[in-house]
């Protein structure tokens, strides 16, 4: 795929036209407050992965509305604790996977928590967390992008973002975790969730959003014809009378509107040939980000971004930020 979006100089200067709702902060404050009445109810069940250098726990905690959310916690066996923790969020369609699959950060000497994404995990790596939909949610296009999309109260990503904030609270309950040193990361959908958590918490030490999804929704929907953004386009093709209502809802979940509240040092990544998360939508969030930030640009890569090359950059970034 050749370069199809703005040039790099234009990307660095690009500012999204998405409008931030006047009650944006109040909405998210109320959303987080609504779950505080539910105990975190976290459980840790030792799980044998066959990896002798790691201790792994099957985790369950209470997320949105007290509903159970699953995850894996990996801790280097025999390490002096407590340890900094890297909380990882997963890409669209996938779940937490099998216990042995995703252990890079624990191999680097950190505690590593992988959060399941509610309702997902049947289109990639498997997941174990359901998504009981609220009554009255609208009919939606297959997938997750239009679930509850006619109202900010019922939109799917409200539940996901609150789960993700609660995941940090949950993992902080484990004695192996140093709650003063929390790093959040993820790619694609996980990158969008990373931005949300960095914005909605003031205690994150670093954020690593890779090729983030869920940013500058309207530009993405109108620029590319690839899923998952195309789910929204196909929904609006049928529901012609819902356009304004849909984008009004999405403004509350747009990484561009969340990013200014984030203060933790951040390392972004972007592929300039990415037709799933167009480069301008990534730069829209990056340019709006409130804390110290840097971005690794991969000129000839698509949605895979930097992959293993970028992992080297992330490991170095976290060492620099945490000092270990």
| Pairwise CA distance, residues 152 & 246, whole Å | 9
Residue of 31, 188, 269, 280 marked catalytic = 188
Looking at 112, 174, 239, 303, which residue is catalytic? 303
Residue 303 a catalytic site member: yes
Active site residue 274: yes
> Residue 70 catalytic?
no
Rounded Cα distance between 44 and 71, Å, is 10
CB 167 within 8 A of CB 186: no
For the stretch 271-288, what's the b/e string if a residue is b when 16 or more beta carbons lie within 10 angstroms of its beta carbon? Answer: bbbbbbbbbbbbbbbbbb
Residue pair 157/189 in contact by the 8 Å Cβ criterion: no
Strand order in the sheet with 266-271: 43-47, 54-62, 68-76, 111-115, 83-89, 177-187, 204-210, 266-271, 293-298
Tell me which of 174, 274, 280, 310 is the catalytic residue.
274
| Catalytic annotation, residues | 188, 274, 303
């Amino acid at each position: 795929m050749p370069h199809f979006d703005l040039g790099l100089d234009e990307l660095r200067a690009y500012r999204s036209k998405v409008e931030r709702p006047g009650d944006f902060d109040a909405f998210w404050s109320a959303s987080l407050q609504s779950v505080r009445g539910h105990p975190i109810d976290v459980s840790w069940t030792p799980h044998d992965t066959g990896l002798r250098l790691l201790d792994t726990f099957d985790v369950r905690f209470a997320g949105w509305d007290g509903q159970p959310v699953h995850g894996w916690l990996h801790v280097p066996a025999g390490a002096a604790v407590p340890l900094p923790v890297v909380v990882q969020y997963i890409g669209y369609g996938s779940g937490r996977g099998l216990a042995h699959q995703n252990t890079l950060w624990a191999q680097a000497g950190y505690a590593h928590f992988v959060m399941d994404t509610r309702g997902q995990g049947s289109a990639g790596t498997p997941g174990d967390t359901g998504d009981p939909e609220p009554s009255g949610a609208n009919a939606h296009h297959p997938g997750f992008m239009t679930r509850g999309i006619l109202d900010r109260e019922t939109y799917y990503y409200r539940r996901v973002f609150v789960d993700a904030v609660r995941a940090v609270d949950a993992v902080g309950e484990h004695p192996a975790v140093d709650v003063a040193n929390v790093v959040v990361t993820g790619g694609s959908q996980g990158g969008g969730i990373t931005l949300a958590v960095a914005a909605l918490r003031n205690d994150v030490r670093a954020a690593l959003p890779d090729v983030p999804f869920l940013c500058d929704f309207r530009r993405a929907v109108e620029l590319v014809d690839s899923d998952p953004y195309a789910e929204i386009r196909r929904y609006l093709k049928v529901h012609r009378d819902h356009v304004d209502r849909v984008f009004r809802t999405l403004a509350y979940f747009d990484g561009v509107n969340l990013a200014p509240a984030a203060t933790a040092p951040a390392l972004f990544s972007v592929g300039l040939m990415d037709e799933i998360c167009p480069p301008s939508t990534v730069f829209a969030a990056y340019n709006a980000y409130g804390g110290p930030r840097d971005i690794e640009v991969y000129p000839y890569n698509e949605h895979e971004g930097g992959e293993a090359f970028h992992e080297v950059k992330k490991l170095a970034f976290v060492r620099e930020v945490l000092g270990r």
